[in-house]
Chains A and B, each alone.
Chain A
Amino acid sequence: MTKSSIRSPKGPTVVNGILMGYSDDVLANLLTVKAKLCASKFELKIDDVVFIGHPLLLHPVSQETAKRELVTMISFNVVIALLAPIDREILMCYHNLTKQLAIALRHEERRCGLLSEQKRTIWSIQDEIAARPEDSQESPYGPILEKCRLSQQLKHVYDELCSSGVVQLYINKWVHINWCLPHKLHNLYMKDTSHTDTPTHVARPVFRPQKFLIEALRPYHGMLLLIDATTLLDSLPIDASPSLVRLIKVTSPFKSLQTLASDADISLRQVYQLVGHLVYWRKATIIFPLCEANVYVLSPNINTFVNSSLVEKCEESFPNVSLPVILSEFSVPSSLGDHKDVLGLPQQQAQEVQVVTWLLQHGLLVQLHTYVLMTPKFCKSWRQTSHHSVGTDDITDRTRLLSSNSDLNSTASDDSYSLGGRSLEAICDNEDNGPWCPQPEQILAGIRAMRNNKIGALDNQEELTLLARLCPYFDGKHHLEEIMYAENIRRSQLLTILDKFRDILITSQHEDPVISAWLYGAGIKRSRTS
């Protein structure tokens, strides 16, 4: 019951998916543990090879003797051999698989003696081969694979593990194993879109589903299925959760999670869990609901070669669309509204949306969001009016530089966006030694002071109040969509504010770190996949 993976030089190691350097006897001794260590994680690293497994006792100690007079099998272990070094997170995933398999096997052994029966089959084959004359002896593994159901299933598990990273089967046609290696799924996905000829492109952060997925979800996010809804529904197990089925049925890239929750009559929390689940299994991705104001730009690390496989794939879906042309349109950040061909037929407009959806499904586009920050000058004047310590001149200059940068530099790659984001955050943190939460009255006073000094005209009282209300969000950490949702205001209202008070507000565009974190973090170190 040993499986294995990949290359390396000498000593016991894994070469081309085969574990080398150990005899069967040594392995058996190595991987058998004493009763005390059973039912917990088994992890053993020798040189380059990590063995991960889950040993189990077949019967509880007390029943052991009572139940079977002749106990020939006390414990067993399901082990996967992997090439070190390997990320803990991925190792845990492999452990989960061995644990599932071990528990399933134990259940079936107790129910109908599966292991004992298969063991007898294997022994008889071995005996048979050993009994043959020496010249006609062959490796027993071939015949075993032919006759022994269990070994077939384990081989199936290994093959699936290597090819797709998804293992779904019924052990002994009854106990359900339903497992995937998300890192592999997401990595394969990235492989499609990234440069296939850059082996140096390795050290991406590891995809950490737990951390990023559920916690990062917000009601204003949307969900985009990566495969067709019907295909997805068909691929679900026979008794899948009804709420999941409903969610998939009502889903659309135009709807926010909140709308999905209302439409499917499911609680928002459940929607989060379902979406997290679908993203983990790489059936869906998180986007912002499509709307005309959404601004997209090419993803920084995609394959833009004219002859890439993606071009063909795109042609299959949209015969009259050329991928490079579309991509070139998005090499400068542009909103969907800009793209809309006002004079076009409704069908054409619908296709444009479909193309953008397709691009998003393949991770070719990233969305840019507008973040708002108050000008340091205003902060300064406000600080002065409220008798705070000054000394922000240095920061003022930096921000000026930055804001001009972000205006000019909107064609830039993701590096400058993330730099922009980080620097702005840094500024916000540096500005004061505590969180910056001015009182609305103070802000009003500040604005009045500033306006009186410089412009002299007081604005509409309502707008001032709204500005004061929104001030806490103007720290460069909240994008327009979030503000709109949290304060339940329209985009036009918000844009009016931004326009009216542009002398005290700076806007910048960059990605939502929440989305980009797992989108780009979705790779794993290549060396590990078998």
Chain B
Amino acid sequence: MESKNARLGLQLFSVYLLFYGGFVFISAFKAEWMEATPVAGINLAILYGFGLIISALVLALIYGVTCKGEDEVPAPPSTDAKSATAAKNGESA
């Protein structure tokens, strides 16, 4: 379950990385593209910036919903969870 989540996480991360990388590289090397106003008189810099913020949320929700089915293991009572972690760390609580 962990590795499945991790794999999905990495896939979504790559998608966002490409999108973010696009923004950063256009700003750095083709800054004038950002001045174009393709939609409703709003320039690309604002559209792309808002797009990055909204897509972060969308990807996060996709991740949340997809992982949800895997939460079937009921969360252990917190004291157990803690002692389990503590045992892993070789420390006492």
Physical interaction between A and B = no
Chain B residues within 8 Å of A, Cβ to Cβ: none
